[in-house]
Chain A
Amino acid sequence: MNWMHSRTRNQSGTIQAPTVSKHARVHATVDTAPDADAPPNGGLAAAMFACGLACALFGVLVVAAERSETLADGFLAMSAAVGPLSGKAIVATAAYAVVWTVLHRRLRETTVDLHRWMRASLVLVAVGLVATFPPVFLLGVH
């Protein structure tokens, strides 16, 4: 939608507001779908979603580790000095990188409904935030 950004200079050199046709105004009010002229935004959706997924996965690992000593002291204790936190960090970071790479390759040339992807990402981030709050992940654990 170049009309949204186009500005013209008059003879005195001052910038005039863009002229918008009646048709363009009507079009602008009803068109909420991805802009045909817009650059692909799938890459942004991929980054945000991968971030949300990493946060949620980290939260799930925190909750799971409190409920399973086998998981906490076994698989997740990748570093003896750091303990289960090492596994949670490594697994979530690896998942972040893998999911981001895969999604980026699939979406980078596409234009998606970014608002929907953003909402999903924010929900996943919220899951991560809630799950890493001690009263939540220690709920029912002695």
Chain B
Amino acid sequence: MLVTSLQVYLLLHIGLGVLFIHAFAGGMGTLFKEQLSPLGQRIRSISVVGVAAVAWATAFTGTWLVYPGYRAEPPAGAGTEGFPKYALLSHHSTAFWHEFGMEWKEHIAWLVPFLATAIAYAVIRHRRTVDRDPRIRRGVAALFVITFGAAVIAAGLGAVINKVAPNDFLGGIL
């Protein structure tokens, strides 16, 4: 069975999301600790850099590779099947998932790479300051939690929208 480019893009996007969650775990486990072993420092550094890199990759693939397939307009006279945005909007019961779900997802997701990059920079380049100032460490950790929360909202809404919308381009894959 042939795999279309849209299927590849979506699977790549979903895979990056899964990677993001795993990278986050290491950072969360080490950012709240006052004393870190050399191994802990390394885990924290790899985690925050991983989160930042994956956040950019996820936002990029989501916006420029997957989103065009979602919002594509059906040709005149054609049905909305295979055109998720228009399929959602065509029924009152599902319109919510575009007007609230997708609108929130596509926007909050873009805050994630901004936040993740600043956190990675803080942890890598200003490790001493983060380590010895509890207020700054808590601030960075809070931003890290916000980053994760935003990513979870975006990922969760994406999963629900993929379930509700008749994404025919996923046929045979999911």
Chain A positions near chain B (C-beta within 8 angstroms): 4-5, 38-39, 41, 43-44, 47-48, 50-51, 54-55, 58, 62, 79, 81-83, 85-86, 88-89, 92-93, 96, 114-115, 118, 121-122, 125, 128-129, 132-135, 137-138
Contact = CB atoms under 8 A, between A and B. Distances in A.
Contacts of B115: 51, 55, 125
Given A47-B118, A115-B135, A132 B63 contact: no
Shortest 3 CB-CB contacts between residues of A and residues of B: A51-B118, A81-B68, A132-B107
A89 B126 contact: no
Nearest to A65: B107
Nearest to B119: A51
A7 B101 CA distance: 55
Interface residues of B, number: 35
A136 B23 CA distance: 31
Interface of B: 59, 63-64, 67-68, 71-72, 99-100, 103-104, 106-108, 110-111, 114-115, 117-118, 121-122, 125-126, 128-129, 132-133, 135-136, 139, 142-143, 146, 150
A114 B107 CA distance: 29
B135 A89 contact: no
Contacts of B118: 47-48, 50-51, 121
Contact of B108 (A39, A122, A129): A129
B107 A43 contact: no
Nearest to B122: A44
Contact of A88 (B110, B125, B150): B110
B71 A115 contact: no
Given A81-B68, A83-B71, A132 B104 contact: yes
B143 A122 contact: yes
B124 to A, nearest CB: 10
